[in-house]
């Protein structure tokens, strides 16, 4: 099938590559010329495990091409995906300007019937706006082309996106058009061979499903952080509590890890946007407000622990920071907890020596050159001349450090473990002070 995808970000590039990999003929279009030129030369703009060889192989095979030529791309597709960003607006609602700009572009160039599929995460009712924008442009041109607008929210996780795309838990299709549903079922048939993964529903339910999924996951994290904060105060260890509740299948093990707060390009903005949508419809979603509130507070928690340890005197101290990405296996630092921590440390007059296996270039892009930040090329290099170690992202390579060596490297012999990677007893028996999240002894 011939597929066009608007947006070559995390979602558009991974989706386009996976669709090409199963034999579809995919054209990816982006307004970022440098990105498109890079992709055509085999430069992959993001880090995503397994993606690079797949892009190169499918590009070389002619099934995956990149262009800035929207008109040609629109002429190509039987299915046209919109996978552009939906960042938060000033009031927290999703900003649809990129999505609607694509819709207008489609309306300007559409010459033959097509199914337009919204893969961006968008508030309920957006499909109607996309349909209206396309129809408006067609009317202006005096052209009458039939088209359908469907919703197909994306559930891939950064860091495991290729795997999620090739083996999805479910594929949600929101449409009341039999033709659109059948076309999308054919498109996704290669991913739906072993058991039924496709869930067909109306457009509005599909749009809400994506927000419900992310809000549920964010709620689990904030809930666990709330328990962690209680555990700290009552002298309990949240890691024990986590093990005590995760085995209950009604609760499950996923997303009950306490930590330094959730970040990324999705949870913060999607919880906010759903909260806004509810308000716009006259409903105050109290739980969503609390989920956001707990997370905001949690992002400052590591710094509170640091302040507590140093009695508020961190000026002149140097902190080794392990992990900058918002989670492991990605270079994405959007809304990352590390950003809040670094700013707080700098505001307090401290210096940072940071290491992240993939996000160093992104950190340099965000922070530029500054005297109080050294971006290091290894975890060990970050420790040189540092007074304390702070772990912010749970990359695998940080899981089993040599604590005796750490004791030698870190001047003040203290670890702030923002992801509870270590066992307090093990760290303390090496002669280091230990602070985790929700571990009663931190108080």
Closest residue to bound ligand NAD by CB: 9
Q: Which is nearer to ligand NAD, 8 or 374 (CB)?
A: 8
Among this protein's residues, is 266 annotated catalytic? yes
* Cβ–Cβ < 8 Å for 96, 201: no
DSSP for 341-353, written as a single string: HHHHHHHTT-EEE
Q: How far is the C-alpha of 103 from the C-alpha of 118, rounded, in Å?
A: 10
217 is in an annotated binding site: no
259 is in an annotated binding site: yes
265 binds ligand NAD (CB under 6 A): yes
Among 7, 259, 323, 424, binds ligand NAD (CB under 6 A): 7
Q: How far is the C-alpha of 399 from the C-alpha of 63, rounded, in Å?
A: 40
Query: Smallest distance from the beta carbon of 435 to ligand NAD, in angstroms?
Result: 30
**CB within 8 A of 138, min separation 6: which ones?**
107, 110, 144, 145
Query: Smallest distance from the beta carbon of 153 to ligand NAD, in angstroms?
Result: 7
Taking CA atoms, 248 is separated from 213, 226, 230, 240, 243, in Å, by: 20, 19, 21, 14, 9
Query: Smallest distance from the beta carbon of 196 to ligand NAD, in angstroms?
Result: 22
Q: Within positions 327 to 386, which residues make up the interface with ligand NAD, using CB under 6 A?
A: none
Query: Smallest distance from the beta carbon of 204 to ligand NAD, in angstroms?
Result: 17
Query: Smallest distance from the beta carbon of 120 to ligand NAD, in angstroms?
Result: 3
Q: Which is nearer to ligand NAD, 68 or 177 (CB)?
A: 68
Q: Within positions 147 to 176, which residues make up the interface with ligand NAD, using CB under 6 A?
A: 154, 156, 158
83 binds ligand NAD (CB under 6 A): yes
Query: Smallest distance from the beta carbon of 117 to ligand NAD, in angstroms?
Result: 12
257 is in an annotated binding site: yes
Q: Roughly what angle, to the nearest 10 degrees, separates helices 10-21 and 51-60?
A: 50
**E strand or H helix that includes residue 178:** helix 178-188
Among 4, 65, 120, 209, binds ligand NAD (CB under 6 A): 120
263 is in an annotated binding site: yes
Query: Smallest distance from the beta carbon of 41 to ligand NAD, in angstroms?
Result: 16
Q: Which is nearer to ligand NAD, 102 or 414 (CB)?
A: 102
Q: How far is the C-alpha of 192 from the C-alpha of 171, rounded, in Å?
A: 9
210 is in an annotated binding site: yes
Determine the size of the site formed for ligand NAD (CB under 6 A): 26
123 binds ligand NAD (CB under 6 A): no
Q: How far is the C-alpha of 204 from the C-alpha of 212, rounded, in Å?
A: 12
- Measured in degrees and rounded to the nearest 5, phi and psi for residue 106 equal -60, -45
**CB within 8 A of 17, min separation 6: which ones?**
26, 51, 54, 55, 58, 64, 162, 165
Q: Roughly what angle, to the nearest 10 degrees, separates helices 126-141 and 97-109?
A: 30
Q: Within positions 16 to 35, which residues make up the interface with ligand NAD, using CB under 6 A?
A: 29-32, 35
Q: Which is nearer to ligand NAD, 32 or 372 (CB)?
A: 32
Half-sphere exposure at residue 75, Cβ-oriented, CA atoms within 13 angstroms: 5
97 is in an annotated binding site: no
Distance of CA 111 to the CA centre of its chain: 35
129 is in an annotated binding site: no
Q: Which is nearer to ligand NAD, 226 or 358 (CB)?
A: 358
Q: Which is nearer to ligand NAD, 36 or 228 (CB)?
A: 36
Catalytic residue among 18, 28, 266, 376: 266
* Cβ–Cβ < 8 Å for 92, 279: no
Among 3, 4, 6, 406, binds ligand NAD (CB under 6 A): 6
Q: How far is the C-alpha of 104 from the C-alpha of 166, rounded, in Å?
A: 31
What is the number of H-type helices and E-type strands within the chain?
Answer: 18, 14
* Pattern 33-62, ligand NAD, x by CB under 6 A: --x---------------------------
* Cβ–Cβ < 8 Å for 344, 297: no
Taking CA atoms, 86 is separated from 39, 122, 337, in Å, by: 22, 7, 21
56 is in an annotated binding site: no
The CB density around residue 332, as the number of other CB atoms within 10 Å, is: 25
Q: Residues marked as binding for substrate?
A: 155-158, 210, 255-259, 263, 327
Q: Residues interacting with ligand NAD, by CB under 6 A?
A: 6-12, 29-32, 35, 83-86, 98, 101-102, 120-121, 154, 156, 158, 265-266
Binding residue ranges for NAD(+): 30, 35, 86, 121, 158, 269, 334
Active site residues: 266
Q: Report the binding-site residues.
A: 30, 35, 86, 121, 155-158, 210, 255-259, 263, 269, 327, 334
């Amino acid at each position: 099938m011939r597929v066009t995808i608007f947006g070559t970000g995390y979602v558009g590039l991974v989706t386009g590559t996976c669709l090409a990999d199963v034999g579809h003929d995919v054209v990816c279009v982006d307004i970022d010329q440098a990105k498109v030129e890079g992709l055509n030369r085999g430069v992959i703009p993001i880090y995503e495990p397994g993606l690079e060889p797949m892009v190169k192989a499918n590009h070389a095979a002619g099934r995956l091409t990149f262009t800035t030529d929207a008109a040609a791309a629109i002429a190509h597709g039987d299915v046209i995906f919109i996978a552009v960003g939906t960042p938060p607006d000033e009031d927290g609602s999703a900003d649809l300007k990129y999505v609607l700009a694509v819709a207008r572009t489609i309306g300007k160039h559409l010459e033959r019937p097509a199914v337009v599929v919204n893969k961006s995460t968008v508030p309920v009712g957006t499909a109607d706006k996309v349909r209206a924008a396309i129809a408006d442009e067609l009317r202006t041109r005096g052209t009458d082309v039939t088209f359908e607008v469907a919703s197909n929210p994306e559930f891939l996780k950064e860091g495991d996106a290729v795997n999620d795309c090739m083996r999805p838990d479910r594929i949600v299709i929101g449409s009341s058009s039999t033709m659109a549903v059948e076309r999308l079922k054919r498109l996704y048939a290669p991913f739906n061979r072993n058991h039924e993964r496709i869930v067909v529903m109306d457009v509005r339910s599909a749009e809400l499903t994506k927000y419900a999924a992310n809000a549920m996951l964010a709620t689990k994290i904030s809930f666990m952080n709330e328990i962690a904060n209680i555990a700290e105060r009552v002298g309990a260890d949240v890691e024990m509590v986590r093990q005590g509740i995760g085995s209950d299948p009604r609760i499950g093990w996923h997303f009950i890890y306490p930590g330094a707060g959730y970040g990324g390009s999705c949870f913060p903005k999607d919880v906010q946007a759903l909260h806004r949508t509810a308000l716009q419809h006259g409903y105050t979603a109290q739980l969503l407000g609390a989920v956001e509130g707990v997370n905001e507070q949690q992002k400052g928690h590591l710094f509170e622990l640091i302040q507590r340890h140093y009695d508020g005197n961190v000026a002149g101290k140097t902190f080794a920071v392990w992990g900058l990405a918002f989670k492991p296996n990605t270079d994405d630092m959007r809304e990352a907890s590390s950003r809040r921590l670094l700013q707080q440390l700098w505001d307090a007059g401290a210096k940072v020596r940071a290491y992240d296996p993939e996000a160093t270039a992104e950190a340099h892009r965000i922070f530029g050159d500054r005297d109080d930040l050294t971006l290091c090329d290894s975890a060990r290099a970050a420790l040189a001349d540092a007074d304390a170690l702070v772990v912010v992202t749970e990359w695998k390579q940080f899981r089993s450090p040599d604590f005796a060596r750490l004791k030698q490297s870190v001047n003040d012999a203290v670890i702030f473990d923002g992801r509870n990677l270590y066992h307090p007893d093990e760290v303390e028996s090496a002669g280091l002070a230990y602070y985790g999240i929700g571990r009663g002894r931190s108080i």
